[in-house]
Amino acid sequence: MGKIEDDEAGARLEAALYSAGRPLTVEELIKASGTESRTKTLTLMTNLVKKAKSVFKAIEISALPDGSYVFQLRPEFNTIIRKYASKPLLPTATLKTLSYIAYMQPVSSKRLVEVRGSGVYLHLRLLQQLDYIGHQNVGRLKIYNTTEKFQKYFGIQGDKDLLKQKLFTKVRSSNQPTVQQQTPSPAESIPQPNQ
């Protein structure tokens, strides 16, 4: 591949981040930029982050703790736009895993696999990329908790016990059927373990 100009490589990075709808690793960004250089790609990403901060008020490009980057809505705008969003941020199965962690925290990886199935490892990776959960190693086990970013994004802040109470109240109020909704049968409301 011929030499890619900075403007072209930057545009490719913007397009990749926008269209992915998920965090992209540096390796994925190197491929997307066409530069084949880690240093060049990281320099371009630093410039893109600065550019996004100066141009956009409601969206941002963020570097996540694992080194990946994501194009996302700023947390303070989440509640405002929820009714306009066409697709959920997280797949249903991943959201169920996040809910379980939030309600049961601290929770071990072993317990998560028992309750949610082996697919939970994919959920955990995505949730960590988004910085909604963190973990501590205790021997060979990982113990998971939600992060401050999770609390801000979902508007549920406070200590762990208060968090559980608020989460329960939010879920309960969102499950109240309206005229347009029908109450699911008991069989439909049972969570499936391998989702």
Give mean pLDDT in consecutive 10-residue pieces for the chain, a chain of 195 residues.
Answer: 78 90 90 92 94 91 88 84 72 90 91 92 92 92 90 71 67 50 40 43
Check residue 185 and give its pLDDT.
38
Check residue 19 and give its pLDDT.
86
Q: Does CATH number 1.10.10.10 belong to domain 92-172?
A: yes
Looking at 66-119, list the stretches that DSSP marks H as alpha helix, in order from N- to C-terminal side.
78-81, 92-104, 109-116
Same fold, 6-74 and 92-172: yes
**Tokens for 177?**
């059927």
Query: Where do the structural domains in the chain lie, given as residue ranges?
Result: 6-74, 92-172
Query: Please, what is the angle between helix 160-174 and helix 92-104, to 10°?
Result: 140
Point out which residues pair with 137 in neighbouring strands: 142
Check residue 174 and give its pLDDT.
54
Question: What is the distance between the alpha carbons of residues 158 and 167, in angstroms, rounded to a whole number?
Answer: 11
pTM: 0.50
Check residue 80 and give its pLDDT.
81
Question: What is the distance between the alpha carbons of residues 100 and 140, in angstroms, rounded to a whole number?
Answer: 21
Check residue 155 and give its pLDDT.
67
Question: What is the distance between the alpha carbons of residues 53 and 113, in angstroms, rounded to a whole number?
Answer: 39
When the candidates are 2.120.10.30, 2.60.120.10, 3.40.50.800, 1.10.10.10, the CATH number that belongs to 6-74 is 1.10.10.10
Sign of the alpha-carbon torsion through 171, 175, 178, 181: positive
Burial 21-53 (b: 16+ CB within 10 A, else e): eebbebebbbebbbbeeeeebbebbeebeeebe
Q: Which residue has the tokens 């508007």?
A: 155
Helix (H) or strand (E) holding 145: strand 141-146
Sign of the alpha-carbon torsion through 160, 155, 24, 95: positive
**Tokens for 25?**
């690793």
DSSP 154: H
